[in-house]
């Protein structure tokens, strides 16, 4: 029990760290509302579940050890962050009558599956997420607590809980801001800021050595 609680505390700290997925959760909460923001969070958790399963199956270590695989994933993540950040930023400069601007303001405009897919792709192409499950989680493996796959499954489930709490908090904060009924100008500024930060994250990822 102490083993699990220690890991949970560490996982919460990691999960609450600001990143691309948490930023998207915050933005979706602000622009799409709680339920669609939580739909996006489910997409993120689905991606992490895939990574946990890969590590439990032994594929995670091979992936982490493959410089080529990590490089491909890294640049796929960079490209996707540039795409969604650039698209969001560009939408703020379009005329108000265009569909993209309306999508950024209308809580009914983006279907939940699309939001979930967006967070899934961001999470699955983030090499930092891969390192969480291939480097961070295995540090808590203890032979006294069972087989490697079993412990990975248990720790993975605990991490998913921590990620859910963090993601739901970001979505909730975004929804709280949404309830303040921001003006159109303020909404454009929020979208513009989100786009700029996502592009900045893409640049930071591109410049990283991982």
* Burial class of residue 46 in the structure, from the number of CB atoms within 10 Å of its CB (0-12 exposed, 13-18 middle, 19+ buried): middle
Mean pLDDT, rounded, for 94-117: 61
Taking the C-alpha atoms of residue 126 and residue 181, their distance in angstroms, rounded to an integer, is: 33
List, as one string, the DSSP characters of 140-198. G--GGG--HHHHHHHHHHHHHHHHHHHHHHHHHHHHHHHHT---HHHHHHHHHHHHHHH
Residue 204's pLDDT is what? 74
Residue 107's pLDDT is what? 43
Residue 200's pLDDT is what? 79
Q: How confident is the model at residue 94 (pLDDT cuts 50, 70, 90)?
A: low
Annotate 4-15 with b (16+ C-beta within 10 A) or e (fewer).
eeebbebbbebb
User: Which is nearest to 170 in space by CA: 15, 50, 47?
Assistant: 15
Residue 38's pLDDT is what? 95
Side-chain half-sphere of 186: how many Cα atoms within 13 Å? 8
For the four alpha carbons of 27, 28, 29 and 30, in that order, the dihedral sign comes to positive
Lowest mean pLDDT, pick from 40-44, 89-93, 110-114, 175-179: 89-93
Residue 160's pLDDT is what? 95
Taking the C-alpha atoms of residue 123 and residue 49, their distance in angstroms, rounded to an integer, is: 11
Taking the C-alpha atoms of residue 46 and residue 50, their distance in angstroms, rounded to an integer, is: 6
Residue 113 makes CB contacts below 8 A (sequence gap 6+) with 39
pLDDT exceeding 70 applies to what percent of the chain?
A: 76
pTM: 0.75
């Amino acid at each position: 029990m102490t083993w699990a609680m220690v890991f949970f505390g560490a996982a919460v700290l990691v999960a609450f760290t600001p990143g691309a997925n948490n930023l998207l959760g915050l933005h979706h909460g602000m622009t799409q509302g709680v339920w669609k923001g939580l739909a996006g969070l489910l997409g993120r958790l689905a991606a992490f579940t895939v990574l946990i399963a890969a590590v439990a199956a032994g594929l995670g270590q091979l992936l982490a050890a493959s410089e080529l695989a990590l490089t491909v994933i890294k640049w796929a993540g960079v490209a996707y962050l540039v795409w969604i950040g650039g698209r969001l930023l560009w939408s703020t400069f379009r005329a108000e009558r265009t569909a993209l601007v309306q999508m950024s303001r209308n809580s009914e405009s983006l279907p939940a599956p699309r939001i979930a897919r967006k967070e899934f792709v961001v999470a699955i192409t983030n090499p930092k997420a891969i390192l969480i499950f291939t480097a961070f989680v295995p540090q808590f493996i203890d032979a006294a607590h069972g087989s490697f796959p079993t412990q990975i499954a248990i720790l993975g489930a605990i991490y998913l809980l921590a990620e859910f709490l963090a993601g739901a908090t970001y979505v909730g904060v975004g929804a709280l801001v949404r309830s303040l009924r921001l003006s159109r100008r303020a909404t454009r500024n929020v979208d513009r800021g989100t786009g700029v930060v996502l592009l900045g994250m893409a640049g930071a990822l591109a410049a990283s050595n991982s």
